Structure 1
Amino acid sequence: MTPAKLTTALLLCLLLAQPAWAEQPYQIVTEEWAPYNYLDNHRLTGMTTDIVQAIMALTGDHFETMVLPSMRSSQVLRNRPRVILYSMFRTPEREPLYKWVGPIVEEAIYPYQLASAAPPLNSLEQLLQAPRVTTRQAGLIPDVLQAKGFTNLDKSAAENQQLYLMLVAGRTGVIVGDTAAGVAYYTRQLHIAPGTLRQVPVELYRSSLYIAFSRDSDDATVTAWANALQHLRDTGELARIQQRYQQPASP
């Protein structure tokens, strides 16, 4: 083979070659965040879990799902190829980092205090001056609160359940961490009587939840998932899944 032909052959091989990971299946990661994605008797369930499974039933995908701590799942999405993460708030800062499928559901975050607390808090100014506002150690919500000027944050809760236990035990006066659906779920799980908690009428954050794909993800796969989600929306199946997890706590 002449040098010219050898060079042409090498260039052709380089053009046709794909990265080693290109043939690997996608890895789905999620975290414990009820009622969207959580373990129930060691079985992964939740609103978004059901939606992701319904999407894969339509696309024919069978990707493995791992449940990881919040910070770890975000690191995997940022640093590993061919990763899908759910559920994630889509923010301006995150927008260019990932490819997005959604929205799945729009949610808001409010603070909560005991209904018996006196005086009741009703404004952002009162929240900023409260002795302590407890939230989780890491994640989007602590960052949002700090950006709003909260200097009274207690970020000692490693898990969502701790927020409610601390509030009921009198170890904090205000908690911030879950949507209304999440609060309903945890109060049921912890057998906190209806009416024990009061939602402070200050919306601290509102956004929509999405499925995030790592930037290297194939556009055809992302589009297939987006089309499948739209099919679930058009047929009413998306609303039916959402309603299963948005039922209020029984009195």
Structure 2
Amino acid sequence: MLFRLAVGMLLLSSAIASMAEDRLTFITEEYPPFNYATENGVAGFAVSLLTDMMAEAGYEFDPSAVRLLPWARAYETALHVPNTLLFSTTRTTARESLFQWVGPIAPDRVVLLAHRDAPVSLSSIEDITRQGLKVAAIREDIGAQRLLELGIDEEQILYAFSNQSAASMLSAQRVDLWAYGEEVAYWLMEQHGMDPEQVAPVWVLSESALYFAVQKDTDPAIVERLQAALDRVQAKRQAHDHAR
């Protein structure tokens, strides 16, 4: 009897895993080194973590199924389409109730970057308004959202189509500031032939962590299963790093 029950539970668990994998849609953007496009598909630290997490949870997962979209479109999709998993997403108080969360993936510091040849000094966030500064940002990105939350007039925000175009705007001094993740900003500039020494952070907008954001109407059991799998993966990675 116990054997049949155990087999039954195992089959049920496998069925749930298969069903969940079939239902989930995976969406990301260009946010290197966490997630970005290569000639062989989407890669990066978060993609590697997602792959290990899905395997640990018992799901069959193909990284080529991950869709790479502009952030604003990806974010809106994850808000409204059930069974969508979006990454890498900064978890904030304002976003907390909008998604279910699996993570953390990694720490993330979002800053205002200024060009060294046109130094900007901020004693408070209100100086952006007082000085009439223009800020490059990505629509629905945490940088843009934080600026609006802090009361910056949207007319002072120049929305770039991509993070690369935002970097170019600051590099060419077409804007005074760029609101973005600090680590990613420097990585992008170096990868696209811009000198990262040209820019420097002048204000910290947020210090939080990156997560996998799951559309809020998705079955919570799936989210719980993914979180448990991620916890095990991260524990194994930490043990491996300590053993080296």
Bin for the TM-score computed over the shorter chain: 0.7 to 0.9
Q: Return closer, same or farther for 1:158/1:217 CA change in 2, 3 Å cut-off.
A: same
Q: Return closer, same or farther for 1:22/1:51 CA change in 2, 3 Å cut-off.
A: closer
SS at structure 1 position matched to 2:184:
helix
Partner of 2:174: 171
Percent same amino acid at aligned positions? 26
Partner of 1:8: none
SS at structure 2 position matched to 1:108:
strand
Q: Return closer, same or farther for 1:193/1:81 CA change in 2, 3 Å cut-off.
A: closer
- Per-residue deviation, residues 112-171 of structure 1 (Å, max 9, x unmatched): 1122224x4242243332432222244332221022122362323111111221122121
Q: Return closer, same or farther for 1:123/1:196 CA change in 2, 3 Å cut-off.
A: same
Query: Shift in Å at residue 68 of structure 1?
Result: 2.0
- C-alpha contact (below 8 Å) 2:56/2:233 kept by paired residues: no
Query: For the residues of structure 2 that align with 1:44 and 1:109, how far apart are their CA atoms?
Result: 23
Instruction: Write the mapping of 1:161-200 to structure 2, written as runs, cut at 5 A.
Output: 161-177=164-180, 179-200=181-202
- Indicate which of 127, 140, 145 corresponds to 1:143: 145
Query: Shift in Å at residue 237 of structure 1?
Result: 5.0
Larger proportion of helix: 2
Query: Shift in Å at residue 24 of structure 1?
Result: 4.4
- Per-residue deviation, residues 73-97 of structure 1 (Å, max 9, x unmatched): 2232233232222122223333233
- C-alpha contact (below 8 Å) 2:21/2:60 kept by paired residues: no
Unaligned runs of 5+ in 1: 1-20, 241-251
Instruction: Write the mapping of 1:41-80 to structure 2, written as runs, cut at 5 A.
Output: 41=39, 43-63=41-61, 64-80=65-81
- C-alpha contact (below 8 Å) 2:34/2:88 kept by paired residues: yes
Query: For the residues of structure 1 that align with 2:229 and 2:239, how far apart are their CA atoms?
Result: 11
Partner of 2:205: 204
Query: Shift in Å at residue 182 of structure 1?
Result: 0.3
- C-alpha contact (below 8 Å) 1:233/1:239 kept by paired residues: no
- C-alpha contact (below 8 Å) 1:121/1:127 kept by paired residues: no
* Largest Rg, 1 or 2: 1
* Higher deviation after alignment, 49-58 or 94-103: 94-103
- Per-residue deviation, residues 33-56 of structure 1 (Å, max 9, x unmatched): 222221122520122111111111
Query: For the residues of structure 1 that align with 2:86 and 2:171, how far apart are their CA atoms?
Result: 33
SS at structure 2 position matched to 1:111:
strand
Partner of 1:226: 227
Query: Shift in Å at residue 61 of structure 1?
Result: 1.5
CA RMSD of aligned residues (A): 2.6
Partner of 1:87: 88
